[in-house]
Chain A
Amino acid sequence: MKNNVRSLERVENIKGWLLSGPYWIFAAIFFGYPFVWLVVIAFSKWNFISPRKTIWFDNFIKLFRDPMFWTVTWNTMRFMLYFIPMGLALSIALAMAFSKAKRFKTFFAMSFLIANVSSGVAYSIIFTQLFSTNGPVNNFLYNNFGVFIPWFSDPNWAMFSIAIMVTWKFIGYYALIFLSGLQAIPKELYEAAEIDGATKWTKFWKITLPLLNPSIVMVMVLAITLSFGIFTEPYMITGGGPLNSTQTFMMVIYTDAFLKYQPGYAATISIIAAGMSFALIILTRKLIERKVEFA
């Protein structure tokens, strides 16, 4: 009997390793091996062809002296300052509207979500045209309000315009996350508050917002991750300009590695950028995350 159990265990063991084997091998080649390369080239000077030279921390030192690095860091922060408040406020409002709507629910959800499946290249092309100097949006603004906005051609506007595009794309997605958070809030809480004479405003600030905390943290983590990975929009629309105001980490990594042939330096930037995004996520959770208990 005991022998039987043991042999069954052995069979399961062999089966487990056999089935997960391909995954281990695949991950070793396309995750482990690149990971080793990432570390190696971050400490090297190399141009893909000539022999690699180990230079230890020179890439990191160069990075902190590189004005471009600070420009990009500042650009990413600016993007987050535009995108995160705008995205959070609009998607919470949208989620509340969704939960209020009794009819046409699918239509509303679809119109916001279809933006989310637009391809990065195609939607960059659309917004380039819509926001161009003589494009439909400026025509509308000029005819109705007499103003004209240099969306992508002014260094002060360009990053904000990209933040508007990204908001357009992601707000439906975030609103659905908030919607499932809203639905988890017990109705009795609102009823109890109404009996105590709470206004709509107090109900929102004292019940809805605190109890949405897990969804808020989740959306912020998603938004931070997204902010550090932006590439298609600046590549397609502004090429990083005007005056480097839309250079992002991904743009710089791309330029340094594949146009200037400095993969070592690009790898260093990607490590530091990943570190920053991790640090920001941890900071967000420390500052904002609250333990939420219902009832």
Chain B
Amino acid sequence: MTSRKNLAQNTRAVMFYSIMFAISLIWLYPYIWLFLSSFKPWNEIYTTFIPSHFTLKSYSYILSVANQMGYPFIRGLFNSIFIAVTVTTSVVITSAVIGYALAKIRFSGSKALFNFVIYQMLFPGFMFTVPLYIVIRSFGLLDTYAAMIVPSLMGAWGVFMFSQSFKSIPNAYIEAAKMDGANFFWVVFNVMVPLSKSTMAIVTIFTFIGIWDNFMWPLIVMQSHSKMPLAVLLAVFNKSYGNYVGPILAGSVIQTIPMVIIFIIFRKYFLQGISMSFK
């Protein structure tokens, strides 16, 4: 009796896990296909799943031939890294400082600041695309790195996340640090931030991914290929040379890999972040 029950249970478990694995593989399939196809000889992209032999032709094409055609992809990769790192660093530092002011300093503007941060988060970003373009244009910043970086240097969401996390830290920590003669920035970055590691990780990851993946804004403000981030350069190349499928897939791999690496490194925080950021 018990063995029959066990058997039934085991069969069900095997079925459950097989189905889950099958569905997971379906979900991974686009990535696997992309990765394998970027190494295929060009005539095999649609015809085989596993390439008959691996070749770097697509990569050498996108990295050197496209460069001679005026699409500098290596430079694009560095542009993307530069923009994403600058914005992320700035957002994390400013959000921590302003989040501290919001959470731990009682001043006449605290309530107004809190309301304003919430109010800002209510508006969908797409409302501001056109007027922000006009503002950037009136500053003479079109087609500069500043156009892509400056409007994102601070953000309401980061401030909100840090202030929520700082609120839960007892004031005793701050008092103790002040007793030891710590100045304000020391308190924020050596006491408060280390105590809210997961918030910092979440703000870092989501800001980085958001700016790396940002497409419409750089598409609008950038003209010269040499300053474009990878996403836009790839899109522009795809518009004019869409039939060079192999190189475009290789470009997509290069564009995707940094985010996948960041995701794998910070996966623990990523999982936390999703359930945390909406509470």
Q: Is A117 within 8 A of B153, CB to CB?
A: no
Task: Tell me the complex Cα distance, A228–B129, Å.
Answer: 14
Q: Is B270 within 8 A of A22, CB to CB?
A: no
| B113 interface residue per 8 A CB criterion | yes
- Cβ contact of A258, chosen from B127, B209, B220, cutoff 8 A: B220
| A180 interface residue per 8 A CB criterion | yes
**Shortest distance in angstroms between A279's beta carbon and chain B's nearest beta carbon?**
13
**Shortest distance in angstroms between A20's beta carbon and chain B's nearest beta carbon?**
5
Task: Tell me the complex Cα distance, A61–B36, Å.
Answer: 52
Q: Which residues of A contact B267 (CB under 8 A)?
A: 106, 110, 113
**Shortest distance in angstroms between B160's beta carbon and chain A's nearest beta carbon?**
12
Q: Which residues of B contact A177 (CB under 8 A)?
A: 274-275, 278
| B193 interface residue per 8 A CB criterion | no
Tally B residues with Cβ within 8 Å of A: 81
Task: Tell me the complex Cα distance, A101–B13, Å.
Answer: 9
Encoded as 1 (CB less than 8 Å from any B CB) or 0, chain A from 98 to 122 comes to 0011011011111111110111111
| A193 interface residue per 8 A CB criterion | no
Q: Which residues of B contact A135 (CB under 8 A)?
A: 46
Q: Which residue of A lies closest to B152 (CB)?
A: A30
Task: Tell me the complex Cα distance, A126–B245, Å.
Answer: 10
Dominant secondary structure of chain A at its interface with chain B: helix
Task: Tell me the complex Cα distance, A13–B253, Å.
Answer: 51
Q: Is A117 within 8 A of B260, CB to CB?
A: yes
Which chain B residues (170-222) contact chain A, with CB distance < 8 Å? 184, 209, 212-213, 215-216, 220
Seen from chain A, the residues whose Cβ lies within 8 Å of a Cβ on chain B are 12-17, 19-20, 22-24, 26-27, 29-31, 33-38, 41, 48, 97, 100-101, 103-104, 106-115, 117-123, 125-127, 129-130, 132, 134-136, 139, 168, 172-173, 176-177, 179-180, 218, 225, 228-229, 231-232, 235-236, 249-250, 253-254, 257-258, 263, 266-267, 270-271, 273-274, 277
> Other than the known A16-B109, A30-B135, what 12 A-B pairs have Cβ atoms closer than 8 Å?
A17-B107, A19-B97, A97-B16, A104-B21, A119-B255, A120-B213, A120-B231, A122-B34, A122-B255, A225-B124, A254-B220, A258-B133
